[in-house]
Structure 1
């Protein structure tokens, strides 16, 4: 999500924030084991897909036994082909541990933002200050866009959550010409009275910066922003997602933010500042690093990412 250019919600200069205690018994051992596999083969659980992210005109992503698009850079490979078509309504939730729960999923950016720069560069009030409505997002060196990645993972996540009985609502499903702006993204979760909300992203940090991190809302009370009622619940949600993401994907917490906890707290993101329901962001990996890009372009790994996020949400909502 953070990358050069006039983009909304870009990350502040890299820093070493105060480390947060994050269910270390679950997170750190899994992170160390996952990191060893991560370094050794590049794409855990994806067969020969670890070599897929070499800078080229296309990026192959066809892990053994995986489903979905085989070439994320191909125009015919739309995000989440094997999950749900764009704009399809969420079916009524069935039975399961999340029956009666509502989850709002926010696929970061929009594939069409690039065609609407004037609209997404307009400023909106995020409480602490004014920021751009949205951004285009980042991409891998081979051209696989963050906005396509986020839609694919979001659609996979929706399927998994609905199987658990949840009602799932998207902020956008590739069915809008651009946006929505960050204030509307937050408002969708608020008006749905979501039990949990998550915004899905991939980072655009320098090559060599690797791993995932979950962004938590800081305590903000300024203008229209007041996160104080949701800070504690959001932190619990983020900690649970970080722990399950490590275990399911085999990826390690980011080596460039969060002091190895996989958690970062920020007050400059409108989608968090304006939320009145428990909400976090997840940066699933760094698109500008070739090893992380090999994972992000793998259909099999994206399914694992969705599974890891889903299990964290289920744990949070089910109280287990």
Structure 2
């Protein structure tokens, strides 16, 4: 299908983007890589009167280490994340997003601001306890990713705010695992699981487990985390954690999988991701 008529404006700075958002009001939309917004526009599920292209904002591109954390510009592409030798879990998840064409254009900021619970990176960043930086007419603020997503395709960003940066803790001493199940390799995940674990002398000191597509927002598998903390990261305890991975979730049934099947997948994939994190 063909999108509805819209005006187009290309900006080269965050300040210019904020100004354009203010002028366009509720009928303005930011365009990053376009792989979330443009398909909705073609289906006319989104019909912005003004499309603000952020592709020229160079300051929002790239990865840097600063003050004990990684600073990732919001316009950093999935392909750039995928090629990083230092981002571990984030790089592994980015490498599984759709296909290479999508990874070459799609951005981390666009993925997070879109708020789709089936996306790969939100659950990963939830497990990492990352933060995002947003800038608007009222100034700059930091938002924990655990507070960013409020409902399906709904975030805590205000209409005049631009997501500018993702701050990722360095997470020294953590091992990781990532698993997702799809109908086809390039599809959205039916379910995805991201694991970060810190093990000392065989005992799990800390573990974080993020779940994809198990509710209207990404969420943590808190029951599974509680089952593992202070316990050996061995087959017995991994199985116990996997058995409760879906506790407290409300996965949506759809054409690809029932809610019951998604709960089953959450347990299986949690077990696999934990096994990877344990070195198995």
Same fold (TM over 0.5): no
Q: Which has the greater radius of gyration?
A: 2
Judging by fraction of residues, say which structure has more strand: 2
More relative contact order, 1 or 2 (CA 8 Å, 6+ apart): 1
